[in-house]
Amino acid sequence: MRIVLGVSGGIAAYKAVEVCRRLVDAGHQVTPVLTDAARRFVGEATFSALASDPVPEGLWQRWEGGIAHTRLGQRADLVVIAPATADVLARYAAGMADDLLSATLLVTRAPVVVCPAMHTEMWEHPAVAENLATLRRRGVHVVPPESGKLAGGDEGAGRMAEPATIVATALALSARRHDLAGTHVVVSAGGTREAIDPVRVITNRSSGKQGHAIAEAAAARGARVTLVTSSALEPPAGVEVVHVESAADMHAAIAAAAPGADVVVMAAAVADFRPKAPVAQKLHGLPELVLEPTPDILAGLAEARRPGQVLVGFAAETQDVVDRARRKLERKGVDLVVVNDVSAPGVGFDHDTNEVTILGADGSVVVVPLTSKRQVADVILDQVVARLRSGATDARDARDSKRDTKED
């Protein structure tokens, strides 16, 4: 694999030497790209001696028969920035391209891993947090810093993660790259809207961010993706989009897309009930609403599924979170249920972040601490890929033993 190792100007640049050595030892072709500030911390000769390629001088150099500022990014399979200073993160988030490292970041379509390193005050500054949120939303992977000794004798949060952690994370990420190639993944997203009259609807707080993040991650991993969404968010590039409004629309769209799919992920917050008789004219006065249940799309998919198809449900809960989700997993007959406690800060509806527990019909439990919805998406897809490889059969057995239990 061709890896660009970007090194920016912080004291942690000395640890980038170890990152370089470990990547080369793992058999990868590493090109170090140093910013001017990085060269003040670590000598170019050190990286040149360790890496597979010499350190390119800058933007204007020829590189492998082309120009360095585009060729490096185009040919990279993975880009790792260690350390990533506050300045580099800001310039990457802003889309600047005035040196070799920032130009490479703008050009590349390979996975990018950034490893922030800075003083605690900078790490805690809202500008840094916002830049990181922007990058995460775009699919950049962040290896968070640790607490410990910093430059100048200070101590606190902001010390770059250890080289072994960075290398393990980066290599695991790149292994995901094409692991869904050849598969068709259907994802639902957003809250449905159930008409009361032409003016009013019953809906919920779902923004569609989590479902869109799953669709984006699946496409990045090589899947053909159909996104059935009620959200007004810009859909990710390269996915087929079906816009829906109500539970009935979503039911029809999923029913059309699911039979041939390898994976269906129901991240949408589908209404459980709707007005029984929506009226054609605007209501005046206080209406008496009569509600009826909507069809359970997910349970229907489980009934009709073909062998090997992987089904993923979500559960938005506020109490007895894991127990309720486990019962849902069994009752609906799916392979995985992703449960989020939507009463917790930063979790669930409309946030850019989420914290979930992924329960498997095989008894597996994977906890994903608070992180971006994009990173949650990748961990869910890791679980999906494992089931595609092993053949998903546990869910059917679990459902058959629980099918008489009734709950929401």
Contact assessment for residue 380 and residue 389, using Cβ atoms and an 8 Å cutoff: no
Query: Which position among 113, 135, 297, 336 is part of the footprint of ligand PMT (CB under 6 A)?
Result: 297
Q: Which residues contact 68 (CB under 8 A, 6 or more apart)?
A: 56, 58, 59, 60, 61, 62, 100
- Residue from the set 101, 264, 342, 381 that interacts with ligand PMT by CB under 6 A: 342
List 5, 20, 103, 247, residue binding ligand PMT (CB under 6 A): 247
Nearer to ligand PMT, 26 or 133 (CB): 133
Residue 73 within binding range of ligand PMT, rule CB under 6 A: no
249 binds ligand PMT (CB under 6 A): no
- Can residue 360 be called a binding residue for ligand PMT (CB under 6 A)? no
Q: Which of 2, 240, 349, 362 binds ligand PMT (CB under 6 A)?
A: 349
Q: Number of residues in contact with ligand PMT, rule: CB under 6 A? A: 28
What's the rounded Cα separation, in Å, for the pair 312 and 366? 14
Q: Is 244 in the site for ligand PMT (CB under 6 A)?
A: no
Stretch that binds ligand PMT, among 19-27, 59-67, 195-203, 263-271 (CB under 6 A): 263-271
Among 9, 32, 83, 348, binds ligand PMT (CB under 6 A): 348
List, by residue number, the catalytic residues. Answer: 204
CA torsion 126-129-132-137 (nearest 10°) is -100
Quick one: which segment of 88-96, 102-110, 296-304, 382-390 binds ligand PMT (CB under 6 A)?
A: 296-304
- CA distances (Å), 146 to each of 86, 157, 201, 327, 378, in order? 15, 6, 47, 37, 22
> Does position 384 bind ligand PMT by CB under 6 A?
no
> x/- contact string, 266-285, with ligand PMT (CB under 6 A)?
xxxxx-x-------------
Among residues 31, 104, 210, 357, the one that binds ligand PMT under rule CB under 6 A? 210
Question: From the list 166, 180, 315, 381, which residue makes contact with ligand PMT (rule: CB under 6 A)?
Answer: 315
Site string (132-171) toward ligand PMT, x via CB under 6 A: ----------------------------------------
